[in-house]
Amino acid sequence: APLIEIKDLHASVDGKEIIKGLSLTINAGEVHALMGPNGAGKSTLSAVVAGREGYEVTGGQVLLNGKDIADMEADERAVAGIFLAFQYPVEIPGVGTTTFLKAAINARRRARGEGEIEPMEFLKLLRAKQKELDIPDEMIKRPVNMGYSGGEKKRAETLQMSMLEPAFCILDETDSGLDIDALKVVSDGVNAMRSPDRGFLVITHYQRLLNYIVPDYVHVFAGGRIVKSGGKELALELEEKGYAEFTEQAA
């Protein structure tokens, strides 16, 4: 069954229509890449799906496991399993990373009618993920994302994502600002999360990331909608030819 279905979605920012009839279905177990020129509206799409404020949905639907999420706030969508990572990870002053992670995990467990996570179980999980993602204790002790470098923020967000075990992960330009080593760490973290009951939407401007997180499908986003879909080879074609053909078509 489809995990996420976006049906003829229209959305505006400041009264300007950015998403113009976008449709996309992602099944559990699949990784879809969304590629497109800067300013096309890729981040707008991720914000709309995650339920961030300041975006107006003017038409269409987004279904999570067959259920329309239009009336759900961003935090409810997060609890339901939608995770939006990257591009500009937020700093949360005064909230320790450990406290933040535990609260987020417990919010999800409560929503599923489960009890809070045992402190020892939490620590064991945290240690394992820290090791996987090369995150020192010193980083964990700081407030969420405070004073992190770009690469540290992305590693920290990958940690959040892998501890929260979301059903649907949106990665918005994970690769921007990452050197090759950090890109490998983050990609390995994402790849370790790939599973038959989880779906991913990987948004990127460049093909490079898709050498590390190899998608099942690639979509070209231009003019507010998906104008072409294919397999991973489409990303290579785009790298070679650029987006001009599609932006002209869309205009």
H helix or E strand, kind and range, residue 105? helix 97-111
42/129 with CB nearer ligand ADP: 42
41 binds, among Mg ion, ligand ADP, none (CB under 5 to 8 A by kind): ligand ADP
36/166 with CB nearer ligand ADP: 36
218 binds, among ligand ADP, Mg ion, none (CB under 5 to 8 A by kind): none
74/146 with CB nearer Mg ion: 74
Which residue in the set 40, 43, 166, 170 belongs to the binding site for Mg ion (CB under 5 A)?
43
167 binds, among Mg ion, ligand ADP, none (CB under 5 to 8 A by kind): none
Contact 196, 29 (CB under 8 A): yes
43/207 with CB nearer ligand ADP: 43
223 binds, among Mg ion, ligand ADP, none (CB under 5 to 8 A by kind): none
Kindly list the residues in this chain that would bind ligand ADP in the complex (CB under 6 A).
13-14, 18, 36, 38-44, 54
**What ranges in 112-210 are assigned the alpha helix state H?**
119-133, 137-141, 150-164, 180-193
Contact 26, 3 (CB under 8 A): yes
Q: Does 204 engage in binding with Mg ion (CB under 5 A)?
A: no
Question: What's the chain's length in residues?
Answer: 251
Q: Which residues pair with 220 in a beta bridge?
A: 35, 228
Taking Cα atoms as reference points, which of 145, 5, 165 lies closest to residue 78?
Answer: 165
Region of 41-49, 112-120, 134-142, 177-185 interacting with Mg ion (CB under 5 A): 41-49
Within 8 A by CB and 6+ apart from 116, the residues are 106, 109, 110
